[in-house]
Amino acid sequence: MMIPASDRTSMLDATAPIGAQLIASLRARIVTGELTPGTRLSEQDIANDYGLSRQPVREAFIRLAGERLVEVRPQRGTFVCKIDAGEVEVSRFVREAVEADILRLAATHADAAAVAELERQVAAQERLARAGEGFMAADELFHRTLAEAAGRAGAWAHLQPIKMHMDRVRHLTAAELPLDRRVS
């Protein structure tokens, strides 16, 4: 969902570090595909959209370049990186390994309330997948809840920066996949 520029300024919390919020917002826009691969990013336009000076935007670009989400080309501009198949494969490999252990632990540690919550979330995912909206957020919640049920919420938190490259592909292809391929 694209957020109108006029609403971005109000998304920033004046009591929290602005730079961190800007980085998180731009990262989310890249991962969800709102800012597509190859898009040229203008420091001035983003500064205007968020009601900021160019300095925090410059700093955000440097941080996002370190995460391999943007490429800063001197004298040419900053661009959203194309999706790197190698990064996606590494993300998939690590996530699969960690989630296999999470699933194994959840099978032996989850109590009845956790199992009921996971079942409720799967049903919600099926409804959202049919509706075509909200599935990705529900899927994230399901996997986080599964990690919590396994007593490994920290492992899920550690996966976030690793899996964002795979998440870019998931967001770009989600609408094209049939229902049985979208629901875990």
pLDDT tens digits for range 29-80: 999 999 999 999 999 999 999 999 999 999 999 999 999 999 999 889 999 9
Among 62, 80, 98, which residue terminates a domain?
80
Structural domain harbouring 40: 5-80
Say yes or no: 177 and 145 in one domain. yes
**pLDDT score at 77:** 93
Its pTM stands at: 0.80
Q: Mind spelling out the 3-state secondary structure of the chain?
A: CCCCHHHHHHHCCCCCCHHHHHHHHHHHHHHCCCCCCCCEECHHHHHHHHCCCHHHHHHHHHHHHHCCCEEEECCCEEEECCCCHHHHHHHHHHHHHHHHHHHHHHHHHCCHHHHHHHHHHHHHHHHHHHHCCCHHHHHHHHHHHHHHHCCCHHHHHHHHHHHHHHHHHHHHHHHHCCHHHHCC
Six-digit token pair at 12?
A: 């920033």
Say yes or no: 60 and 116 in one domain. no
Say yes or no: 76 and 102 in one domain. no
Among 50, 80, 110, which residue terminates a domain?
80
Say yes or no: 30 and 112 in one domain. no
Among 28, 59, 80, which residue terminates a domain?
80
How many domains does one find in the chain? 2
Say yes or no: 54 and 97 in one domain. no
Per-residue pLDDT 10s for the chain (184 aa) are 344 554 565 566 676 788 889 999 999 999 999 999 999 999 999 999 999 999 999 999 999 999 999 999 988 999 999 999 999 999 999 999 999 999 999 999 999 999 999 999 999 998 888 877 788 889 999 999 999 999 999 999 999 999 999 999 988 887 665 555 544 4
Say yes or no: 46 and 104 in one domain. no
